[in-house]
Structure 1
Amino acid sequence: MTYDERHVEARKTLLSTSVFKPAAMAVFLGFSAASLAVPGAAQAQSYAFNSVQIEGLDTIQASTVMSYLGFGRGEQVSAGELNDAYQRLVGSGLFDKVEISPRGGTLVVKVTEFPLINRINIEGNKRLKDDELLELLQSRARYVFNPAVAERDAQAIAEAYGDQGRLAAQVTPRIIRRPQNRVDLVFEVVEGKNSDIERITFTGNRAYSDGRLRRVIESKQAGILRFLISNDTFDPDRIEFDKQLLADFYASRGYVDFDAVAVTSEVPAQEDGFFVSYEIREGQKFSFGEITTVSEVDGIDPAAFEDLARIGSGSTYNPAVVERAIARMEKEAQQQGFGFVRVDPRVTRNEREGTLDIAFAIVRGPRIVVERIDIEGNETTLDRVVRSQFTTVEGDPFNPRAIRAAAERIRALGYFANVDVQAREGSAPDSVVVDVDLEEQGTGSFSVGGTYALGDGIGFMLSFSERNFLGRGQYLSLEFAGGLDKRTYSFAFAEPALFGRDLRLGLNASYNETTWASGLFDTRRGVLTPSLEFPLSETGRVRVRASGELTDILNYTGTSAIIAAEEARGLQIGGGAGFTYSFDTRRNGLESPSFFFAQVSGDVGGLGADNQFVKTTALANFTTKALNEDVTLSATVEGGALVSVGGAGSRVVDRFMMNPDQLLGFASYGQGPRDLTAADDDALGGNYFGAARLEAQFPLGLPEEYNISGGVFGHVGSVWGLDSSPGVDDTFHLRASVGAAIYWDTPIGPLRFSYAYPVRKQAYDIEQRFGVSISTGF
């Protein structure tokens, strides 16, 4: 049985069990009675009634009935007009039964009023709350009851359950008679089971496997872990969205002719869930061919625009790349003073070579300006937050591409469940009004939970965050995490659009108290960091910051003379300043199987403390997909240096100590310089560190909806160097490990279960072969 057939069958079941069939029959009998009551009228050409006698009224005024009749006393009325009057009374929704009987010069109108609704109840609903369902109803308490409206309300409730994947839900409206012609309206709900998707298959796909395409779409298959999967219920709207996701996926990889020819959804015999099959046509894969720029506007030199295309001949065709190039060219034309100019891409297909030649034509556009931008539906979010996403203001030339790009940026904010941006003609033919219709959604979260990490043990976490604080588009976060050995308090605030520009103002504060892993001493650390972040290019950003920091070492019980001397220096409070430059190819908004991320930071710190230092760190990562994008390959290198420029030198709380995620196979503070003269070989950390990681992640053959994959890795790295190291080996010693991992993308976050075997180490290193941690992404 297909989805449509099942939906129709469910509707039939609903109507067949409705209590209002007798009411509908009463209206039919009323019409029949009227037809039998006016046989003479059917033969006469017209009537004239000296009086109208209305019977059966209780709460409705006689004048209301007369207004629906549409004629007065003494007026000539034809048989057709009399029938029309009857239809108007029936269609008013005020009466359960209507009879019209001409009796000589008197028209007798007998009515039975629908009762008033005393109250409305919904029974049997568990998945959807009363408040959610009552908002869907047209029937209202203290209004006239109408069976047809109640039927539509029942269908609306059933459709709401259908949107939740419960297509078998049945809703039956009932009435309970009360005195004084009143009724209680009750909707009895039988929710039924979820209509799960048991299987998703594809036909016609050659370039990508079913498994890869199942990771593209939002719908998921149900399985033994279905209680963890939110998108495994059948939803026709989600299926349509999946078709668009597939189209975008193929288009970004050069398949310009891709088409989802058909999608079939059916419930086989002996099965409870849907089998969904996508029939697709991939078409030919294209690359970019010759890229040229031409101008049809006097005063514009196309050579000045050629470099703005930034498209390499031979690279895979991607329509988003073309859109980006057009946006850059149109922006440049506007900056040169050419207001009403547009760039049209003229495409020439070369089927044999599999290339698309693109000629960017700079042409005159229509002289249309933006009259105004109307924003509606933002009950909490301020208008300026939405307007800041537009590069167009009132009076600017109308650019459809710029408006579409603004709509995408508004959606990307995550503040709205629905964003609809449309342009319509303004007060004159040469102007447009941009209408922005919004539907807000929740942007705050409150979390309470537990944490576990090897080395830190079990902990408790409490956090609150708001992504649209007071409707200003600001970010606010408060968090506490604690356990037996560690307590952390943190606060974060950010204004992402300072002065209405792409300037992010941030303020971060944290304080933590830690019993160190060795148990030999405790630490205190507090940091306050205001910062300002801004773009340098399409893919590069810079963040500059100031900082204030306090650090302390307490309760040392070991025998290391180095740490004892560092503890004796007491609480240190110092200030500093720094910057971070980051480069990320994903910031261009293009979907690609490969990306590159790099980050460089530099800080000057310790101003006002007993040690001044310069600290630098750097990280670079390249990630790509191979074997039809079923395998993810990642290479990462990182390193850092801490150089004291004055004072007593660095302390153990200042130096680098690589954590297990940076070098799997070794415990926290398990490798690097150690004081071998101390009884417990205390870890000292180092002023320098470096690491390189190669990782591969691949499917294990499990259903994609479980989000479980496997991986292998190889890590190398080291920590070394101290300011003063009598009796300590702080020279560079390379460590290395290899191993395997299981990755599980869970509702609480991505988890990694790893087993690493150290293949190169020092005798005093501490191993940690098995690890459980939150998987890190870039």
Structure 2
Amino acid sequence: MAGAQKTGGRTLVGRNGLQKVAVATFLGLSTASIAGLGPVAAQSYSFTDVVIEGNQRVSPASIVSYAGIGRGEQVSAAQLNAAYQGIVNSGLFETVNIEPRGNTLVITVQEYPTINVINFEGNRRMDDEELQALIKSTSRRVYSPTQAEADAAAITQAYASAGRLAATVEPVIIRRSDNRVDLVFEVTEGKVVEIERLAFAGNRAFSDSRLRRVLSTKQAGIFRALVQSDTFIAERIEFDKQVLRDFYLSRGYIDFQTLSTTTELTRNRNAFLLTFNVREGQQFRLGRVTVTSEIEGVNAAAYREAIRAGEGSVYSPSILENNVARMETLAVEQGVNFVRVDPQITRNERDLTLDVNYVITRGPRVFVERIDIEGNTTTLDRVVRREFTSVEGDPFNPRAIRQSAERIRALGFFSNAEVQAREGSAPDQVIVDVDVEEQPTGSLGFGVSYGVNTGVGLNASFSESNFLGRGQAISFGINTTTDSRALNFSFAEPAFLGRDLRAGVAFNYRESTSDDADYNTRIGSFGPFIDFPLAERSRLRLRFSGNYKELSNVDTDNSFILQQEEGSYSTGEVGYTYSFDSRNSGLDPNAGVLVRFSQDFGFGDKSYVRTTALVAAEKAVLNEDVTLRAEFEGGALSYFDGGSTVLDRFDLNGKIRGFENNGLGPRDLNAPDEDALKGEMFAVARFEADFPLGLPEEYGINGGVFFDVGSVWGLSDTAGGEDGSDEVDDAFYLRSSLGVSLFWDTPIGPLRFNFAKPIVKKDYDEEQPFDLTISTRF
């Protein structure tokens, strides 16, 4: 049988194979019939009766309608062939035969079988449920070879999108009784085709390693079994070309082009060599910046003050976008609607500058008729709707709609979010369509840990950033080790009272009960908070909490000061935190600043003021291959009633590397173990740089150097023991350390290995030359 191959009771169906058999049969019979009728009779037929044979499910009338031949009509040989094609194209029959017998037309059909079950064999990387969602063939429906071939192609494409370009899928049928078949898709997955080398040609301003960090496509590395971004996917490369252009545009290279991408298979054909051929062009800066108004009564000078980047700044589309948004917002605040700000750019080739004139014009009078949201099966409409600054009836602003779309994507609730505008019920009305695709927003984790000092630990955590589809965040965690236990819970509503107010509550509890420790502790706190924006990049958080602290089981060999502090107390606390952050939204994409200032006022068993401040900055230099960071942090604790305890005071744990926890600061020198007492004031400065080591980019390993300097000092109560023999050293002494770091970007997270050597220290300080941490930014 042409087009079909039987193997062990299974039939491998080729495309249109069965139909070709039927065509050959028909042509042979019709030729023989026509030859017997002679030259004149061969031109046409006339049938007084049509007989249907072989049909089981399809009615004779339906088959006759597919043929399109009526009784008594003159029918040519071409019309007979068209009748045959009409029956075949119905997709209901495995074979079709049309045979003229005198005045009777006999149509013999064999119906396609019914699909009994659908199975998948050979699939390992994709489970049956994933493959089932890709196909259109279904059980208890008529089997179609064409559809089975289309389903096989869809599965093959899914494997190709996952980097398995060698995957093959064959549809196979197994005959059963009662004209039924089992449809089996035999899958050969093949191996992942990786990107062995990712290179660039034509780049001068930025190195290959810097550009690789921009792209979502990665080179295959030592974690190739876990990392999926190193597989070759054509669609991802197109996305990377746009990302690469955005990277250069944001740095002033307005003429940047990706001329082509070259892909070559390696000799053993199991990996690709991918090269981006680029043309960078020249970097442009902003030249003369002006504002003109074409609207009567609108003063351009007032809008000139809203511009945040002036002459000499490196050009970036985001600078223009942000300035336009500020000016349009100012117009709304002044009660001027339908204002459009059009940045007109003049290019100066001689000095490589771009003059920008922001033209204030009157836009079309178009209103938002309604906002339609689709695809949100879990998330409530109001969660999406509140990301729009426009509501039904407001003037339509395309820029505001685009910004709303970006905010919806930034929620993290959706894998895809498309926002489009279309004409409404009238020319001056616009309907905004929001089409989203939900994605998982929660996580549940369990873990086991081990530490030399802490022993075996168990931890469990749960978090959900879109609780009940309301956009609320909830988290819960528990951590227990041999000597300690910790519990935390938090809940936050990001749009309290329908405004940009984030409100919530937080609960934290931890205790230590080690028999080997100098003392046991128990600390708990619970309270609400609320934060809101003050300006474009600054926020203010207000909070209240009730606190309980207990210091117990202080050994009699410990410092007399610790013995005096033993006991429990409760306090209330009111505080605020002001923060300014330009790291992700500043004018310079290579630099960022973070400022944070906090104060907490305590009352109850103790009265105090705790003040902390942090100023941090970072900047990428040397074509963004090296990142420099500087951090300055300090704090002061002032008690008015009750005095501080070791549970309240500051330590420098993790703030000056190279020292153990509680390894520096005020100490009771006469105590047997020279107990650490912590301090009521601290100040530190940290400087570091990280840079590539020249290792293959796919290893994800960078190097760094750092220098830390600072001190913690001061106790309000240094009274000695009963005999006055205690000697407390709480003076201000600078400590400093110098070290190197290794940054390793692994699938489980970015790890940081610090090797530090204290340079300036006291004799009683305790060193820690090595530590391993999760790498974070300030």
TM-score normalised by the chain length of structure 2 = 0.94
Contact 2:49 2:105 in 1 (8 A): yes
Instruction: Show the 5 A alignment for 1:402-551.
Output: 402-451=400-449, 456=454, 458-515=456-513, 519-551=517-549
Bigger drift between 191-200 and 748-757 goes to 748-757
Secondary structure (helix, strand or coil) at the match of 2:431 reads strand
Q: Which runs of 5+ in 2 are unaligned?
A: 720-726
Rounded Cα–Cα distance in structure 2 between residues aligned with 1:226 and 1:640: 45
User: What amino acid sits opposite 1:615 in the alignment?
Assistant: R
Distance 1:167 1:23, change over 3 A: closer
Measured after TM superposition, the shift of residue 26 of structure 1 is 2.6
Rounded Cα–Cα distance in structure 2 between residues aligned with 1:556 and 1:524: 13
Contact 1:637 1:693 in 2 (8 A): yes
Measured after TM superposition, the shift of residue 120 of structure 1 is 0.2
Which residue matches 1:227? 225
Distance 1:300 1:715, change over 3 A: same
1:574 aligns with 2:571: yes
Contact 1:23 1:96 in 2 (8 A): no
1:106 aligns with 2:131: no
Instruction: Show the 5 A alignment for 1:276-675.
Output: 276-451=274-449, 456=454, 458-515=456-513, 519-557=517-555, 558-567=557-566, 570-588=567-585, 592-605=589-602, 607-609=603-605, 611-646=606-641, 648-659=642-653, 661-675=654-668
Contact 2:223 2:747 in 1 (8 A): no
Rounded Cα–Cα distance in structure 2 between residues aligned with 1:429 and 1:249: 38
Which residue matches 2:677? 684
Distance 1:551 1:479, change over 3 A: same
Secondary structure (helix, strand or coil) at the match of 2:211 reads helix
Rounded Cα–Cα distance in structure 2 between residues aligned with 1:590 and 1:173: 57
Rounded Cα–Cα distance in structure 1 between residues aligned with 2:525 and 2:70: 85
Secondary structure (helix, strand or coil) at the match of 1:131 reads helix
Secondary structure (helix, strand or coil) at the match of 2:583 reads helix
Which residue matches 1:64? 62
Rounded Cα–Cα distance in structure 2 between residues aligned with 1:22 and 1:741: 60
Rounded Cα–Cα distance in structure 2 between residues aligned with 1:50 and 1:381: 65
User: What amino acid sits opposite 1:314 in the alignment?
Assistant: G
Secondary structure (helix, strand or coil) at the match of 2:138 reads coil
Which residue matches 1:765? 765
Contact 1:540 1:581 in 2 (8 A): yes
Rounded Cα–Cα distance in structure 2 between residues aligned with 1:437 and 1:662: 46
Contact 1:487 1:512 in 2 (8 A): yes
Distance 1:308 1:150, change over 3 A: same
Which residue matches 1:702? 695
Measured after TM superposition, the shift of residue 207 of structure 1 is 0.3
Rounded Cα–Cα distance in structure 2 between residues aligned with 1:127 and 1:619: 48
Contact 2:292 2:300 in 1 (8 A): yes
TM-score normalised by the chain length of structure 1 = 0.94
Bigger drift between 353-362 and 425-434 goes to 425-434
CA-to-aligned-CA distance 1:310-363 (integer Å, 9 cap, x gap):
112101101011011111111222222222221111000011111111111111
Distance 1:390 1:16, change over 3 A: farther
Percent sequence identity is 53
Contact 2:368 2:396 in 1 (8 A): yes
Instruction: Show the 5 A alignment for 1:55-134.
Output: 55-75=53-73, 77=75, 80-134=78-132
1:249 aligns with 2:244: no
1:745 aligns with 2:745: yes
Secondary structure (helix, strand or coil) at the match of 1:559 reads coil
CA-to-aligned-CA distance 1:504-527 (integer Å, 9 cap, x gap):
012111100124797110100001
1:30 aligns with 2:22: yes
User: What amino acid sits opposite 2:609 in the alignment?
Assistant: V
User: What amino acid sits opposite 1:768 in the alignment?
Assistant: Q
Pick aligned residue for 1:205 from 203, 215, 219? 203
Contact 1:453 1:772 in 2 (8 A): no
Contact 1:454 1:772 in 2 (8 A): no
Measured after TM superposition, the shift of residue 286 of structure 1 is 0.6
Distance 1:23 1:180, change over 3 A: farther
Contact 2:47 2:104 in 1 (8 A): yes
Distance 1:191 1:408, change over 3 A: same
Rounded Cα–Cα distance in structure 2 between residues aligned with 1:466 and 1:589: 30
Contact 1:95 1:111 in 2 (8 A): yes
Rounded Cα–Cα distance in structure 1 between residues aligned with 2:76 and 2:568: 102
CA-to-aligned-CA distance 1:59-86 (integer Å, 9 cap, x gap):
2222321332235434555555543332
Measured after TM superposition, the shift of residue 31 of structure 1 is 2.1
Rounded Cα–Cα distance in structure 1 between residues aligned with 2:716 and 2:559: 16
Bigger drift between 302-311 and 178-187 goes to 302-311
Contact 2:97 2:108 in 1 (8 A): yes
Rounded Cα–Cα distance in structure 1 between residues aligned with 2:108 and 2:516: 93
Measured after TM superposition, the shift of residue 407 of structure 1 is 1.1
Contact 2:415 2:439 in 1 (8 A): yes
CA-to-aligned-CA distance 1:377-406 (integer Å, 9 cap, x gap):
100010011111111111222221111111
Rounded Cα–Cα distance in structure 1 between residues aligned with 2:623 and 2:604: 56
Instruction: Show the 5 A alignment for 1:713-724.
Output: 713-724=706-717
CA-to-aligned-CA distance 1:93-112 (integer Å, 9 cap, x gap):
11111122333432221111
Distance 1:183 1:656, change over 3 A: same
Secondary structure (helix, strand or coil) at the match of 1:639 reads strand
Secondary structure (helix, strand or coil) at the match of 1:142 reads coil
User: What amino acid sits opposite 2:670 in the alignment?
Assistant: T
Contact 2:222 2:698 in 1 (8 A): no
Contact 1:455 1:667 in 2 (8 A): no
User: What amino acid sits opposite 2:775 in the alignment?
Assistant: S
Cα RMSD for the two superposed structures: 2.2
